[in-house]
Amino acid sequence: ARLASFVGAIAIADLVKSTLGPKGMDKILQSVSEKDGALNITNDGATILKSIHIDNPAAKVLVDMSKTQDDEVGDGTTSVVVLAGELLRQAEKLVQQRIHPMTIVDGWRLATKAARDALIASAKDNAGDMEKFRDDLLNIAKTTLSSKLLNKDKDKFSNLAVDAVLRLKGSTDLNLIQVLKMPGGSLEQSFLDEGFLLKKKIGVGQPREIHDAKIMVANTPMDTDKIKIYGSRVKVDSMDKVAEIEEEEKKKMKAKVEKIKKHGINVFINRQLIYNYPEQLFADAGIMAIEHADFDGVERLASVTGAELVSTFDHPELCTLGSAKCIKEVMIGEEKLISFSGVKQGNACTIVLRGASTHVLDEAERSLHDALAVLSQTVKETRVTLGGGCAEMLMAKAVDDIVPKTTGKKSLAVEAFSRALRALPTTIADNGGYDSAELVAQLRTEHHNGNSTAGLNMNNGTIGDMNELGIKEAFKLKEHVLLAAAEAAEMILRVDDIIKCAPRRREEGM
């Protein structure tokens, strides 16, 4: 059973292994259930693992771990699985040498501590100097994007991502950054729009542009100017009576519109339909009315403009209105959008992605989301480490240094841990088609000679200085990869049997 759990976990790690690093390959995920077999092209570890069907319980542990990494840090989803898989591969060899799993776990714990201390010691913090910190953020974004689809335009997109995150001023709420996907054009035409874009049209005959807008965001039915009393039957003996009922309905609607106008607004955004009659009333009053703004849009709009969702209109004094400097209709590609600029939450913005096909756009959005998530975490935890396999080699060296000081069989486990750490740069080099054994050996020599900034230069397959090349990663990301992988591997290693449980019985008499 232990072998089964090892095999499952290692198989998962090997599955995503080929997507690691700047020269990693992509996978096509094709769904089996749907008729058209909807497909995704991606090299984002979490997306791949989320989509595959798994029976092996140990493999599920790894999948959950990569999901957590995605939610927590946003990037490093592949590294964390590959590292855990390598640890288990080393453990398998040790178990075959008759070393008890608990001994291995003890050794790993020593190694994890040593590796983490080395990582903390190597991390730099430039939070005090805004220009340097911005450079750090740019480099982190470039490193994150270089293994994704946006690689060729990474300068542009890392600038977009850094600008968007710095506008958040330290908040990690990515809802304020809206990503709109517009098919057409090419990726280079993507841009950052200050403020907020809503994919809706403005009502007929209403102002197309409003300055110093006072916005009411509502969720209320505005479609009752026809008779609509559910499940009731009204008997009338002449058409005049029907007309009277309709007239009453119209009066009710008019009264509602009057109440709304009393709030002194000039923009009314509703989640539900607005029929022609109220629309005409709004147009006469010079109020811009936008209907059917989907829920996601309404919630986001409310938070961005500082408005609260309203559904009754009797107390204007209790209602919080939103504000914006200018609201107007803009054209992007073929689509008409409504742009809100100068909004209350000045840190909100919209990134508009253009691309050749929906697959490209989906993958671009995933890549960008990774970059945004990592950056927003880095703004909070400002320490930065080096990428390109440099941090892993540093940790491996620190772990090697404690091997001679470790007594008994534990030292074998400690050694195995450093081999597993070295597997990450090895995989990165392999995926680029370079001679990994040669490169990693050179890298190891460099680090032992005290050159602690050496890493893999993947552009020409040599050893380079990571500081000069600007290959940096967030400290939080590296730390999370190390700890999560060690914990997951330890958990799987402790398993000695897999027991199938009986399905839960229904209570009698249910």
Angle, alpha carbons 82-102-113 (nearest 5°): 60
Main-chain dihedrals φ then ψ at residue 100, nearest 5 degrees? -70, 140
Which runs of E-coded beta strand occur in 254-377?
267-270, 288-290, 309-310, 322-332, 335-343, 349-355
Question: What b/e sequence results for 424-449 when a residue is b if at least 16 CB atoms lie within 10 Å of its CB, and e otherwise?
Answer: bbbbbbbbbebebeebbeebbebbee
The question of whether 78 is a catalytic residue gets the answer yes
Q: For residue 104, what are its two tokens?
A: 């291995």
Alpha-carbon distance of 293 to 298, in angstroms, equals 6
The question of whether 312 is a catalytic residue gets the answer no
Q: Is 198 left (phi over 0), alpha (psi -120 to 50) or beta?
A: beta
**All residues at 6 or more sequence positions from 310 whose CB lies less than 8 Å from its CB, including other chains:** 216, 217, 218, 219, 220, 319
Alpha-carbon distance of 284 to 257, in angstroms, equals 11
Sole residue written with tokens 């009754």:
312
The number of angstroms, rounded, from the C-alpha of 123 to the middle of its chain's C-alpha atoms is: 24
The question of whether 103 is a catalytic residue gets the answer no
Q: For residue 15, what are its two tokens?
A: 């599955």
Task: Give me the catalytic one of 19, 42, 47, 77.
Answer: 77
Separation of first and last alpha carbons in the chain: 37
Distances (CA, A) of 363 to 79, 151, 463: 19, 12, 30
Task: Give me the catalytic one of 75, 136, 362, 370.
Answer: 370
The runs of H, that is alpha helices, within 36-76 are 45-51, 57-72
Alpha-carbon distance of 24 to 162, in angstroms, equals 24
Alpha-carbon distance of 253 to 155, in angstroms, equals 54
Q: How many helices (H) and strands (E) does the chain have?
A: 16, 17
Task: Give me the catalytic one of 42, 47, 78, 406.
Answer: 78
The question of whether 112 is a catalytic residue gets the answer no
Instruction: From 211, 146, 160, select the one nearest 189 (Cα to Cα).
Output: 160
Which runs of E-coded beta strand occur in 395-497?
454-457, 462-465, 472-474
Sole residue written with tokens 């953020």:
137
Task: Give me the catalytic one of 42, 44, 75, 143.
Answer: 44
State whether the Cα torsion 191-196-201-202 is positive or negative: negative
Main-chain dihedrals φ then ψ at residue 349, nearest 5 degrees? -155, 170
User: Does residue 361 contact residue 40 with C-beta atoms inside 8 Å?
Assistant: no
Instruction: From 277, 278, 276, select the one nearest 268 (Cα to Cα).
Output: 278
Any idea which residues carry the catalytic annotation?
44, 77-78, 370
